[in-house]
Amino acid sequence: MPIDPAAAQRCLTRFARQPAMAATGASVSAIDAGQFEIMLPFSAHLTPQHGYIHARITAMIADTACGFAARSLMPEDAAAPTTQFKLNRLAPAKGERLIAVGRVVRPGKTLMVCLVFAEDAGKRKQIALMTASNSGRHGHGVA
C-alpha cells in the first residue's frame, strides 16, 4: 500500500530533526506505508576495536527504522515511542554500509520488526534482527 504523501513528509521532517542520525551519517533510503529504510555508510568512528559497526549503532538505526515504520501509518498527532526491543546480532556489521529495514508486522498492533543488512559490493547479508513494540501514545496503536 503506498504511503500517504503527508505521512511521508511528516516522517522525513522528523527524521531530519534527529541529531543522532545526522551525527552518524544515516539517511532515509526508502519509505512506504508501514515500512521505513535507513542507510548508514561505514565509518571508522562508529566502530569498536574489532573494526565493524558497533552494536549500539546497529540497534539505534534498527529502532529508528521500526519507529518510523509505525509512524508512517499513524495519525499526525500520534506518537510511537519504543517501549521495548530485542536485537539479535547474527553476524558482524561490516561492509560499505548498513541498511535497516523496519516493517510493521500487523497494522493496528504494536509489533514491528527490523532486518539489518550489511551491504558490500552490491551484495546484502543480514546481520541483525530486531523485534520492537511501542506504546502508541494518545490511544493510537500502529495503524
Count the domains in the chain: 1
Own/partner pairs, 30-33, CB within 8 angstroms, 24+ separation = 30/101, 31/3, 31/68, 31/72, 32/1, 32/2, 32/3, 32/72, 33/1, 33/2, 33/3, 33/4, 33/7, 33/72, 33/73
**141 in a domain, yes or no?**
no
pTM of the shown model: 0.88
pLDDT in tens, 25-77: 999 999 999 999 999 999 999 999 989 999 999 999 999 999 899 889 888 88
For 94-120, write each residue's pLDDT tens digit. Answer: 999 999 999 888 766 667 889 999 999
- What residue numbers bound the domain in which 98 lies? 5-134
- Residue 75 lies inside a defined structural domain of this protein: yes
CATH of residue 77? 3.10.129.10
